[in-house]
């Protein structure tokens, strides 16, 4: 299968009941995504268009298509399209791979979980740039425990940016 | 093999510290709820009765104040983005407060004032330690947002309420305060309500509700009316009750305006939220806010002399303390305690292996039962104390007690994850939690 081609093999996951009952379906979705074979697509059934998920999975190299059956019934397919997106740091600085993770608009403790999942994949020399609504006071001790270096700034109102990288060995 | 280190929020504050406060507060809530049926004859009479004073202080100090203090050790780092100055101080403070509140309640119950005054002195020390810790945590604080201003108002209110209460306690042994007893008591109660509890709830709501409802924070107009309405109401109501003519009505209207702005914002936020489903904690919070409407109507009616007498005053107290304040705390605890337990037991594994979600730690059926019984029990109790019939008050007390038992059971289930070996806790949760979602989640293939 060529990158960008929509796969025929599909794995279906219906999280409408989870959301109806107030359960956070993100862990189930990510488990399903992680279990996908290269030639498989995940078809997600949700009661609303999961716009934040597009960005999250897009950064991991997934493209998507969307079908609206009714205002409260959507099918969204995700399939591997390309390598995960990376941004380069500013010219002049030592070359580092930077992944951007936006956790604004997520219910606690999902921002914490998402950042910890992402930093686990952080390679040597790579950086994770987290966009948050507030200073994540419960995240910092976790980063310290895992030997990660972090810096926080607030470039604009409503945006707290945390830059995380592994400490040199 | 080495275990991952236990996480510590903020500057090394263990999640066990706020949890210990919240567990003690829940025990006080259960005690108070269980005693309502027993105190039905007293609740059908006048509220100035030693046993009702004991019940009131079990709720206001043991339940409400301990819960707010415990929650503040978790929420100050989140809502004010400051680390807690000392971890050791809250541990000593909890011991002092637990002894002091137990002593005060026991001496109210027995009607022995010197012992009650001594316990009140101990309580003042415990509260002073809390104020010291918070004050040191907020040293150099410059971001005076709506929430920060209300928190500052609340801690000022707490300090004044403590001094006022200590004065009342000493006055029982060595009379020195001028004025009549009931206006002074009413002033103490309203200083605590408008100066300490209400600003703290409004402050935390403005930051925390939007996080959970996935909705916007209060607009500038709502914030302005809530902050300045409450700020103006504290001196006006207290001085009005202490005998300054005309101020009571002004203060009551200012408090009503603040409450109205809060209710309107919560309504708008809940209507415009992005989160599709509501868990029981959030339903508690919304129901609590609805109880604020009849409570404020009765409060204004009492302040303007449209209504009077102990029956109305008791119904007002039940709606305010049991409806708005207690149901808000119950709702927030159903959000905070699972987070603290999750943070302690599972966050070191997050990112390294699948971990349960907060919803998977809790038991929605028991929480739903607690919701029906507590919300129904409070409404029933308000109606029955208004009527003043002991048998109906007793029935309402039974409903309330069952609700409190269900609430405490729901918390106990979540807290159980702390006491299992962490590895065992993870594997057993998928099989032992009847009615709870399984974890780790099943493979989605074929789902």
| Interchain proximity A137–B9, CB inside 8 Å | yes
Say which range, A50-59, A94-103, B292-301, B424-433, has the weakest mean pLDDT.
B424-433
Q: What tokens appear for B51 in the block? A: 């046993």
A96 falls in which pLDDT band (50, 70, 90)?
low
Q: Pick from A64, A80, A96: which residue ends a domain?
A: A80
- Are A114 and A65 within one domain? no
Mean pLDDT of all residues in A127-136: 89
CA nearest B348: which of A140, A150, A145, A121? A145
Kindly state whether residue A104 falls inside one of the protein's structural domains.
yes
**Closest Cβ–Cβ partner in A13, A19, A137 for B277:** A19
CA distance B93 to B130: 7
- Whether residues A101 and A42 share a domain: the answer is no
Q: Which two tokens stand for residue B54?
A: 């004991």
> Quick one: A51 and A97 in the same domain?
no
CA–CA distance, B122 with B346 (Å, rounded to integer): 37
Q: Are A30 and B286 a contacting pair, CB within 8 Å?
A: no
Number of domains in chain A: 2
Q: What percent of chain B has pLDDT over 90?
A: 72
The reported pLDDT for the residue numbered A4 is 52
Q: What is the residue extent of each domain of chain B?
A: 16-348+356-420
Q: Tell me: do A76 and A100 sit in the same domain.
A: no
Which domain CATH number covers A145? 3.30.110.40
Final residue before a domain boundary, out of A43, A63, A80: A80
- Nearest-angstrom CA–CA distance, B418 and B396: 34
**Position B294 confidence tier, pLDDT thresholds 50, 70, 90:** very high
CB contacts < 8 A, A to B, total: 111
User: Would you say residue A2 lies in a domain?
Assistant: no
Q: What ipTM was estimated for this complex?
A: 0.70
Is the pLDDT reported for residue B17 higher than 60? Answer: yes
Task: Supply the mean pLDDT for chain B.
Answer: 89
**pLDDT at position A47:** 85
Selected residue of A36, A70, A141, A160 to mutate for chain B interface (largest B Cβ count, 10 A) = A141
Cα gap B111→B93, rounded to integer Å: 26
Å between B16 CA and nearest CA of chain A: 14
Q: Positive or negative, the Cα torsion across B43, B46, B48, B50? A: negative
Nearest neighbour of A13 by CB, restricted to B279, B355, B444: B444
Does the beta-carbon distance from A138 to B77 stay under 8 Å? yes
Which tokens sit at B343?
């943070």
CB A109 to CB B342 under 8 A? yes
For residue A43, tell me if it sits in a domain. Answer: yes
Q: Could you tell me if A36 and A51 lie in one domain?
A: yes
Q: Which residues of chain A neighbour B274 with C-beta distances below 8 Å?
A: 105
Structural domain including A95 reads 87-166
pLDDT digits (tens, 9 = 90+) for B404-429: 999 999 999 999 998 874 544 443 33
The pTM for the full model equals 0.79
Q: How many CA atoms lie within 13 A of B303 on its CB side?
A: 28
Q: Note whether A39 and A65 are same-domain residues.
A: yes
Of B9, B282, B355, the CB nearest to A138: B9
Flag whether pLDDT at B443 surpasses 80.
no
Measured CA to CA, the distance from residue B184 to residue A121 in angstroms comes to: 63
Do A98 and A154 lie in one domain? The reply is yes
Looking at the structure, do residues A34 and A74 belong to the same domain, yes or no? yes
Closest residue to B437, CB basis, from A23, A112, A117: A23
pLDDT at A68 over 80: no
pLDDT in tens, A9-67: 888 888 888 877 767 787 788 878 877 877 788 889 888 878 778 777 876 778 888 77
DSSP letters spanning B217-266: PPPHHHHHHHHHHHHHHHHHHHHHHTT-TTHHHHHHHHHHHHHHHHHHHH
Please tell me the class of the B16-348+356-420 domain. mainly alpha
Cis, bond preceding A40 (omega within 30 deg of 0): no
Domain boundary (A63, A80, A97) is at A80
Beta carbons of B347 and A22 less than 8 Å apart: no
Report d(CA B385, CA B43) in Å as an integer: 6
What pLDDT is recorded for position A9? 80
Claim to verify: residue A98 and residue A137 sit in the same structural domain = yes
């Amino acid at each position: 299968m060529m990158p960008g081609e929509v796969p025929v093999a599909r794995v279906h996951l219906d999280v409408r009941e989870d959301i109806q009952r107030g359960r956070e379906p993100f862990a189930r979705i990510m488990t399903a995504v992680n279990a996908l074979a290269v030639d498989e697509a995940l078809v997600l059934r949700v009661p609303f268009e999961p716009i934040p998920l597009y960005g999250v999975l897009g950064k991991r190299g997934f493209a998507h298509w969307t079908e609206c059956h009714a205002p409260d019934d959507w099918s969204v397919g995700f399939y591997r399209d390309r390598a995960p997106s990376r941004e380069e740091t500013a010219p002049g600085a030592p070359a580092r791979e930077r992944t951007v993770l936006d956790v604004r608009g997520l219910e606690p403790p999902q921002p914490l979980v998402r950042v910890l999942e992402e930093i686990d994949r952080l390679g040597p020399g790579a950086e994770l740039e987290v966009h948050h609504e507030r200073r994540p006071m419960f995240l910092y001790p976790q980063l310290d425990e895992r030997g990660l270096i972090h810096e926080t700034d607030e470039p604009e109102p409503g945006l707290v940016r945390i830059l995380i990288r592994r400490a040199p060995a | 093999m080495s275990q991952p280190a236990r996480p510590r929020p903020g500057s090394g504050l263990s999640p066990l510290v706020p949890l210990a406060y919240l567990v003690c507060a829940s025990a006080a809530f259960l005690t108070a709820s269980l005693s309502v049926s027993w105190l039905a004859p007293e609740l059908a009479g006048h509220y100035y009765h030693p046993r009702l004073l004991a019940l009131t202080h079990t709720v206001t100090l043991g339940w409400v104040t301990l819960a707010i203090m415990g929650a503040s050790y978790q929420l100050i780092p989140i809502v004010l983005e400051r680390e807690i100055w000392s971890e050791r101080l809250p541990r000593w403070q909890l011991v002092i407060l637990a002894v002091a509140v137990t002593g005060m309640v026991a001496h109210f119950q027995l009607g022995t004032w010197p012992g009650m005054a001594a316990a009140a002195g101990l309580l003042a020390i415990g509260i002073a330690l809390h104020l010291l810790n918070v004050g040191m945590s907020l040293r150099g604080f410059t971001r005076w947002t709506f929430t920060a201003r209300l928190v500052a108002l609340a801690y000022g209110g707490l300090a004044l309420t403590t001094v006022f209460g200590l004065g009342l306690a000493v006055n029982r042994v060595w009379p020195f305060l001028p004025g009549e007893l009931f206006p002074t008591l009413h002033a103490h109660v309203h200083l605590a309500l408008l100066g300490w509890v209400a600003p703290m709830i409004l402050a935390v709501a403005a930051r925390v509700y939007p996080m959970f409802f996935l909705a916007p924070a209060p607009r500038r107009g709502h914030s302005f009316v809530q902050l300045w309405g409450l700020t103006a109401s504290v001196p006006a109501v207290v001085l009005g009750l202490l005998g300054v003519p005309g101020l009571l009505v002004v203060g009551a209207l200012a408090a009503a305006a603040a409450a109205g702005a809060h209710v309107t914002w919560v309504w708008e936020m809940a209507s415009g939220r992005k989160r599709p489903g509501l868990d029981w904690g959030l339903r508690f919070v919304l129901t609590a806010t609805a109880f604020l409407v009849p409570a404020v109507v009765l409060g204004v009616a009492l302040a303007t002399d449209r209504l009077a007498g102990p029956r109305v005053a008791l119904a007002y107290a039940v709606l305010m303390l049991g409806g708005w304040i207690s149901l808000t705390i119950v709702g927030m605890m159903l959000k905070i305690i699972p987070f603290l337990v999750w943070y302690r037991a599972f966050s070191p594994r997050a990112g390294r292996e699948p971990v349960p979600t907060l919803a998977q730690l809790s038991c929605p059926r028991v929480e739903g039962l607690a919701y029906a019984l507590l919300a129904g029990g409070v409404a029933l109790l308000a109606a029955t104390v208004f009527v003043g019939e002991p048998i109906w008050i007793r029935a309402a007390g039974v409903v309330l007690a069952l609700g409190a038992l269900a609430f405490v059971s729901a918390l106990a289930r979540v807290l159980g994850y702390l006491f299992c070996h962490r590895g065992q806790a993870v594997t057993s949760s998928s099989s032992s939690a009847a009615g709870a979602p399984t974890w780790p989640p099943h493979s989605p293939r074929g789902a």
